[in-house]
């Protein structure tokens, strides 16, 4: 490890049974020896609380610690992540092992920080403890049962409640939408408070060390904005080779979202080291791809990285979740590629100090809207995350960095906001967006936004509801295209349109009437022809755009984003060819800038430069172009 340039080892995340082989009996001897070995080798340890995998004695002594499925069946012990987070004994035991570790290793110089648990997300539990927890959470939120009835609209179907004990866990698609959203919030809150108990124990014993958690990509059960709040920084686990695509659009999106949780740089705690897998394994990273995967995250604001795993396990459920070393333990191509990457990262470290991505465009990521759309999609193929991906990919292809942020963030540092599928719009958010546009900002809103309030009730307003003044449109009616393959062509206004000749509405259409907005595109259809599909509204010093449908062609979204960037006066540093990613890290003053160019393809790419740069490694001047072999990376500085 030391020869490869590694300096930190992540340990202990599933080792509860060895640390506490019997309740209240602790054995730290193995980890004491390991920390001594690491110290002698000049390596540091990132310690993990081991509560993601309960020992057999916990399940045997406290069977209710195991979660219950939706069908009422209790999960059997034998996997990881199988606990009920509202079960009192499990919460107590989790605190006890965390406290024992914190007290035993308090201030240990080899431990640089802590990871709480592992990938907090599942399983969702439906036991009587969770039901009681949900009832108490609702009582704390609403105060009176009458307030809850009003918020949920329980008069519908005669479901009015007169006692908290009557509340059930909503587990059907036809359940009350307000109850469903609150159940999602409650489950997320369980995870947040579970983590908070560990943070509160660790902080006094390690006041000068960081605490983080490894998030799971785009998983949706937990509100990561809230989970991140009390962490020093957030981390995530990156496995882009899980997908078939070589252009790592999704990894770019998750990187921007992870950075956006706290508006702060992040770590990767599980970086792709080989083909991941369980009973079957995914593809092996191609030569150069392990380095490229790592550089993509560095370019988006990653400040620390640990590969998962060091050596491929010979036993257990993850025998085929491959590490840098194979089962034989012999260093090979993957090891050498990681070692090369680590050496380069050390070389770049002085230049990276104090830098982050300085984006002028942002996209909102709202868990209430995500959850609301999950259990009420409203039309076929309406997927919140897939909708956001369309815009993020268009920004990626345009060579522009994008922050992905919670809806309560300060918008004043941005010129462009993308507000996609913002199903839930509070008065505070509507006011913030309106002020942003009036002050000169550009906002794009799309279909099914502004439909619900914070209680998941439909507004008694003509859509787009509270956003109507800013957007200058009204939605007279709306309709799904159903499960069929109905397609409606779009026609753009004017002769010099920047949009492609072919653009096709699919899945859904708002019957959109411009009031003070101007139509940009209309439907070509016998019944929809009087209605706009895309509008622009000049409002104050800014503009509010509205797209009332889903468009089939990616070229449309590319044109739309380029147009919005131009209106917002956001210009990419370098125009990149397809398959090449551009990301820029800079210090707060903008004086020190690192420009990353990543070739995601298996072919050489040539990137023309608008001006001379310096190679960050060699210091040599790069005059007119950069040639990137397959999966290669260039890091440039100002000349």
**Per-residue model confidence (pLDDT) at position 201:** 98
For position 245, what pLDDT does the model report? 65
Q: What is the DSSP string of 227-294?
A: HTTTSSS-EEEE-GGGSS-SS-HHHHHHHHHHHHHHTS-EEEEEEE-S--BSSSB-PPPPTTHHHHHH
Going by pLDDT thresholds of 50, 70 and 90, the confidence category of residue 242 is confident
Helices then strands, counting H and E runs in the chain, come out as 16, 27
Judge whether 301 and 251 are in contact, CB under 8 Å: no
Nearest-5° Cα angle at 439, 434 to 445: 40
Q: Is residue 484 over pLDDT 80? A: no
Considering the candidates 13, 119, 289, 337, report the single residue annotated as catalytic.
119
Domains annotated on the chain, with CATH: 361-567 (3.40.50.880), 580-638 (2.60.40.1180)
Compute the average pLDDT of residues 275-295.
94
Per-residue pLDDT of 23-81, as tens digits, reads 999 999 999 999 999 999 999 999 999 999 999 999 999 999 999 999 999 999 999 99
pLDDT per position as a tens digit, 558-599: 999 999 999 999 999 999 999 999 999 999 998 899 999 999
**How high does pLDDT run on average in the chain?**
96
Interatomic CA distance for residues 195 and 90, integer angstroms: 13
Q: Hey, CA dihedral for 288, 289, 294, 298, is it positive or negative?
A: positive
Alpha helices, DSSP H, located in 359-410: 367-375, 384-398
- Checking if the pLDDT of 212 tops 70, the result is yes
**Per-residue pLDDT, 542:** 98
pLDDT for 588 equals 93
Instruction: Provide the pLDDT for residue 24.
Output: 98
Encode pLDDT of 170-183 as tens digits: 987 778 999 999 99
Percent of residues, the chain, with pLDDT higher than 90: 96
Which residue among 250, 270, 344, 573 is the active-site one? Answer: 270
DSSP-derived secondary structure letter, 65: G
Q: What is the mean pLDDT of residues 116-131?
A: 97
- SS3 state of residue 92: helix
Is 119 among the catalytic positions?
yes
pTM for the model = 0.97
What's the pLDDT at 367?
A: 98
How much is the pLDDT for 482?
A: 86
Name the nearest CA neighbour of 545 among 606, 465, 493, 472.
Answer: 472
């Amino acid at each position: 490890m030391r020869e490869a340039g590694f300096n930190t080892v992540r340990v202990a995340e599933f080792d509860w049974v060895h640390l506490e082989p019997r309740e209240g009996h602790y054995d730290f001897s193995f980890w004491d020896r390991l920390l001594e070995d690491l110290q002698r080798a000049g390596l540091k340890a990132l310690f993990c609380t081991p509560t993601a995998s309960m020992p057999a004695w916990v399940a045997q002594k406290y069977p209710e610690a195991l979660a219950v499925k939706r069908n009422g069946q209790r999960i059997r012990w034998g996997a990881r992540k199988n606990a009920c987070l509202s079960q009192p004994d499990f919460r107590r035991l989790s605190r006890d092992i965390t406290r024992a570790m914190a007290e035993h290793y308090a201030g240990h110089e080899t431990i640089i920080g802590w990871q709480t648990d592992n990938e907090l997300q599942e399983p969702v539990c439906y036991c009587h403890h969770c039901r009681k927890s949900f009832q108490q959470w609702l009582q704390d939120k609403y105060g009176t049962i009458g307030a809850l009835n009003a918020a949920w609209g329980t008069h519908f179907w005669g479901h009015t409640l007169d006692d908290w004990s009557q509340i059930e866990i909503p587990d059907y698609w036809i359940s009350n939408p307000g109850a469903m959203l609150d159940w999602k919030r409650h489950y997320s809150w369980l995870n947040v408070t579970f983590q908070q108990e560990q943070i509160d124990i660790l902080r006094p014993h390690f006041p000068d060390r960081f605490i983080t958690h490894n998030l799971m990509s785009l998983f949706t059960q937990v509100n990561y904005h809230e989970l991140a709040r009390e962490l020093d920084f957030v981390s995530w686990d990156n496995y882009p080779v899980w997908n078939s695509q070589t252009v790592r659009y999704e990894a770019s999106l998750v990187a921007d979202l992870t950075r956006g949780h706290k508006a702060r740089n992040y770590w990767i705690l599980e970086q792709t080291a080989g083909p991941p897998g369980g009973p079957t394994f995914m593809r092996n990273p191609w030569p150069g791809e392990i380095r490229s995967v790592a550089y993509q995250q560095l370019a988006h604001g990653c400040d620390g990285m640990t590969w998962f795993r060091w050596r491929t396990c010979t036993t257990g459920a993850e025998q085929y979740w491959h590490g840098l070393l194979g089962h034989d333990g012999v260093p090979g191509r993957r090891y050498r590629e990681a070692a090369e990457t680590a050496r380069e990262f050390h070389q770049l470290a002085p230049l990276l100090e104090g830098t982050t991505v300085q984006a002028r465009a942002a996209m909102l990521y709202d868990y209430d809207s995500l959850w609301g759309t999950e259990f009420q999609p409203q039309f076929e193929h309406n997927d919140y995350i897939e909708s956001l991906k369309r815009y993020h990919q268009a920004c990626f292809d345009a060579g522009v960095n994008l922050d992905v942020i919670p809806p309560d963030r300060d918008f004043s540092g941005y010129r462009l906001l993308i507000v996609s599928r913002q199903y839930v719009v509070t008065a505070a958010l509507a006011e913030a967006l309106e002020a942003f546009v009036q002050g000169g900002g550009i906002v794009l809103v799309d279909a099914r936004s502004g439909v619900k309030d914070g209680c998941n009730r439909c507004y008694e307003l003509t859509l787009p509801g509270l956003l109507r003044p800013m957007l200058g449109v009204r939605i007279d009616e709306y309709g799904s295209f159903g499960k069929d393959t109905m397609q409606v062509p779009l026609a753009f206004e004017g002769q010099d349109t920047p949009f492609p000749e072919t653009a096709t509405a699919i899945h859904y259409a708002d019957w959109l009437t411009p009031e003070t907005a101007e139509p940009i595109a209309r439907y070509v259809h016998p019944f929809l022809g009087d209605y706009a599909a895309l509008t622009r509204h000049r409002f104050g010093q800014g503009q509010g755009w509205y797209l009332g449908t889903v468009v089939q062609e990616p070229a449309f979204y590319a044109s739309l984003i380029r147009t919005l960037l131009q209106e917002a006066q956001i210009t990419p540093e370098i125009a990149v060819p397809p398959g090449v990613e551009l990301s820029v890290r800079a210090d707060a003053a903008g004086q020190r800038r690192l420009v990353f160019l990543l070739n995601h393809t298996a072919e050489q790419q040539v990137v023309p430069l608008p001006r001379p740069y310096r190679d960050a490694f060699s210091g040599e001047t790069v005059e007119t172009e950069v040639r990137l072999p397959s999966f290669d990376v260039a890091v440039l500085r100002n000349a």
